[in-house]
Amino acid sequence: MFGRRESGVLLHPTSLPGAGGIGTLGEAALAFLSRAAKAGQTVWQVLPLGPTGFGDSPYQCFSAFAGNPLLVSEEGMRAEGLLPEGEAREWAGGDGGAAARVDYGAVIGRKAAVLAGAHARFREGAGGGEMRRAWEAFRGREAAWLDDYALFAALKEAHGGAAWTEWPVELRDRDAAAVAAAGDRLAESVERVAFAQFLFFRQWDAVRAHARGVGIRVMGDLPIFVAHDSADVWVHRDGFLLDAAGRPTGVAGVPPDYFSETGQLWGNPLYRWDEMAKGGFAWWVERMRSALGLFDVVRIDHFRGFEAHWEVPAGAETAAGGRWVPGPGAALFDALRDALGEVPVVAEDLGFITEEVVELRRRFGFPGMRILQYGFGGDPAENEHAPENHEANSVVYTGTHDNDTIAGWFSGTPDEAARSPEEAATERDALLRRTGGDGREIHWDAIRVLMESVAETVIVPMQDVLGLGSDARMNRPGVAGGNWGWRMAEGAFGEAEAARLAEETRRADRG
């Protein structure tokens, strides 16, 4: 699909440095892209960009179409006259220092107040005529999802953050008169939510334009499942396995695996694929159309779920008692291709993968994924992650957002269920033999092995470019709190790091 040897960096925008307590779509994003381009990189991979809910996970969003308002840049709003010049530009909540992490509780409240102020000033005439015309065009263009999401978010705020299943029955069940009355009653809040979306997409478009200008494509992330407490499920209940009160009758997860002895219980509602098929998978077509408007390439998380997904009974405490249930298979991707043409998809095909999953991926020519950290255990002849077994039509990583950093993996105590201390030592030795190094620069040794792969595309998490340890890990699957908070220190990805990455890229004939 990619057609050439290339490399890129995985860095979610929340991890960018800067004032305000969280990375945003401002100057730091543009500076990162410029430096990545000078380092010979041609791909920037991000995690899902939707509005995050409980747990701050970008894989549990309030909408599959909306953007995360926490990413809206205050400097960008100020430049467009939506924030007063005299307002404090710095915030003690975190400036991307060496040990900085996102304090979501503090950031959410502060950003909501800033966005509300920007909306109020816009209503008073700030921003100018061009912005007002762009705002009206945005509302018209995105109305199919924007109106429902803005009302959902306004209702959620009005009900103290309660899930939609806890709202009054007439709103829970979307009685037409009740929904219309709520829209009238909450009109200002609805517009405020929609305006934050306008700002997000306006700034994201500017970031995308800068990426194109420096020769970088953006790879986005599309989770297979959506959160139960989302506008998507509230509006499209017929497409999900729910009871009469809107509660899931079965939820998503995965069986016991590398990360957990009891599996992973995600809790997302499952699709009624038969009902979606009757409508030509229209919701999925629009979801993919939206993703292709945001990204150049779309990584589909948990691709194997389209062949068969792990269904866990609602109320179960772990995922261990689930069962495999068939998914839509090729029918969904045929519908996407018929509606949108050939879609540039990367299939996340990790975990328990059957021949049927491999056949589905190959039928549509989608690259799969391979992880270097998994490449040094077991029988090398049978290990598809081993560097000598990589395929050209694949994307390979030192690790993903779910893995430890390569430095942490190499030197730390293993915390994955399937990796004993003895196995960890064997894998470390195998990597050292492969690289010929002594482990002092294990991240660069691993990156060199990765770059030499026959795979067309390699992606390195920024934490591995910087050689950071386990405390810089983005996510620990199965652990409820403390995730998604890592931020890159100001100046960490400097000229020296970019030059070294460029050297490794050139040496492997990438970029």
Query: Any idea how long the chain is?
Result: 511
- List 348, 349, 404, 456, catalytic entry: 348
Q: Under a CB-based contact definition with an 8 Å cutoff, are residues 283 and 295 in contact?
A: no
**What are 511's two structure tokens?**
């970029």
Distances (CA, A) of 225 to 12, 70, 270, 468: 20, 22, 7, 31
Give strand pairing partners of 218.
44
Q: Which amino acid is at 327?
A: G
CB atoms within 10 A of CB 133: 10
301 is a catalytic site residue: yes
Contact 175, 155 (CB under 8 A): no
Q: Which residue has the tokens 């290339």?
A: 6
Largest CA distance in the chain: 71
Q: Mapping DSSP to helix (H, G, I), strand (E, B) and coil, where does residue 339 land?
A: helix
Residue 341, token pair as written in the block: 């043409």
- Pairing outcome for strands 297-301 and 217-223: parallel
Catalytic one among 301, 445, 456, 464? Answer: 301
Per DSSP, which regions of 203-359 are E strands?
217-223, 250-254, 264-269, 297-301, 308-313, 323-326, 345-347
CA angle 426, 430, 431 (to 5 degrees): 120
Annotated catalytic, 402? yes
Dist. CA 196–CA 154, nearest whole Å: 12
Q: Report the phi/psi class of residue 267: left, alpha or beta, with left for phi > 0 and alpha for psi in -120 to 50.
A: left
CA distance 265 to 255: 9
Contacts of 130 (CB under 8 A, 6+ apart): none
Kindly write down the DSSP assignment for every residue of 431-481, as one continuous string: HHHHH---STTHHHHHHHHHHTSSSSEEEEEHHHHTT--GGG-S--TT--S
CB of 252 closer than 8 Å to CB of 211:
no
Catalytic residue among 74, 257, 349, 402: 402
Q: In a 10 Å sphere around its CB, with 0-12 CB exposed, 13-18 middle and 19+ buried, how is residue 139 labelled? A: middle
b/e code 202-211 from CB counts within 10 Å (16+ = b) = bbbebbbebb
Q: Sign (positive/negative) of CA torsion 428, 431, 433, 439?
A: negative
Report which of 479, 493, 510, 511 is spatially closest to residue 57, judged by C-alpha positions: 479
Catalytic residue numbers read 301, 348, 402
